[in-house]
Amino acid sequence: MSHKQPDGDSCKNYFKYGKSFPDNVGDALCGASGIGGSTGPTGPAGPAGPSGAGVGVPAVIGDILAGNNGTPDDRNLEAYVDASGWYHASNQYTPLVKSVTITNETYTPNLLDCSMYDITYNGDCTISAPSNCKNGRTMTLCLRQGSGGNHEINWDPVYHFDGGYKFVTKSEGAKDVMVGTKINDFIFSTIASDCKNSDSNSISSSSSSSY
């Protein structure tokens, strides 16, 4: 039986002998012009997803310094460092000076606040071991005799003084400066007596020098 020839010129280029009918149809559809229309309009946007919960709890200073995640009550809770936390945490390693006046009391320097103290003392006072003093940290105490002089500073046993000299100048307004560095179980301490802007070749006679 003879094969019937295509009856239209438009089909001559697509229907070939030796190819299956589906293949011939595919050739015709892919090669013909004017079959595909223009791209349709864009569909509406899909619904918005739920908003994220975010991180709403600021980290506390102690955790920022220690590198702890979360909060003291929940370490799995996400916390963030806000501007206030960053400022106060960074100040722990900045030589800020805190001025205080003490009278007949025990005073505890808190190195979480600052590492330099200007202390005016009256009566019989004691400097206790500092709080938040990590190993290797150094603190400076400027000790000023209060009104009338002859006031006393006693030291916690954690302070180990160079040569055992730990005495303050007794005259009114005198300034002694103590510098201490924590070394494991003690604070290596040294005290500069009777700091002044005038020349002197000896320690002031007003200092208590008895051991």
The more confidently predicted of residues 117 and 113 is 117
Same domain, 133 and 89: no
Phi, psi dihedrals of residue 79, rounded to the nearest 5°: -130, 160
Same domain, 100 and 170: yes
Pairing relationship of beta strands 175-183 and 159-161 according to DSSP bridges? unpaired
Q: pLDDT grade, residue 150 (50/70/90)?
A: very high
The more confidently predicted of residues 43 and 170 is 170
Six-digit token pair at 203? 């320690």
154 within domain boundaries? yes
Same domain, 129 and 142: yes
Same domain, 60 and 106: no
Asked if pLDDT for residue 197 goes beyond 50, the answer is yes
46 within domain boundaries? no
Q: What is the chain's mean pLDDT, rounded?
A: 83
Same domain, 175 and 145: yes
Of 62-66, 116-120, 135-139, the range with the lowest mean pLDDT is 62-66
33 within domain boundaries? no
What pLDDT score was predicted for residue 108? 97
Same domain, 89 and 102: no
80: DSSP letter: B
44 within domain boundaries? no
Q: pLDDT grade, residue 16 (50/70/90)?
A: low
Same domain, 119 and 73: no
62 within domain boundaries? yes
2 within domain boundaries? no
What pLDDT score was predicted for residue 61? 85
**Type of residue at 199:** D
The more confidently predicted of residues 131 and 17 is 131
28 within domain boundaries? no
Q: Do 136 and 111 contact (CB within 8 A), yes or no?
A: no
Q: Work out whether the CA dihedral 193, 195, 201, 207 comes out positive or negative.
A: negative
Three-state helix/strand/coil letters over 35-63:
CCCCCCCCCCCCCCCCCCCCCCCECCHHH
Q: pLDDT grade, residue 112 (50/70/90)?
A: confident
Same domain, 82 and 161: no
Same domain, 107 and 170: yes
Q: How far is CA 53 from the centre of its chain?
A: 24
Mean pLDDT of 187-199: 91
Six-digit token pair at 94? 């900045």
At residue 77, the 3 state secondary structure works out as: coil
Range of the domain at 144: 95-192
How many residues does the structure list for the chain?
211
4 within domain boundaries? no
Task: Supply the pTM of this predicted model.
Answer: 0.58
Same domain, 112 and 185: yes
Within 10 A of 30 (CB to CB), how many other CB atoms are there?
10
Same domain, 137 and 178: yes
Number of domains the chain contains? 2
Same domain, 153 and 178: yes
Beta bridge partners of 180: 139, 189
Q: What pLDDT digit, counting tens, does each position of 36-88 carry? A: 567 888 889 888 877 776 788 899 988 888 889 988 899 888 898 998 888 88
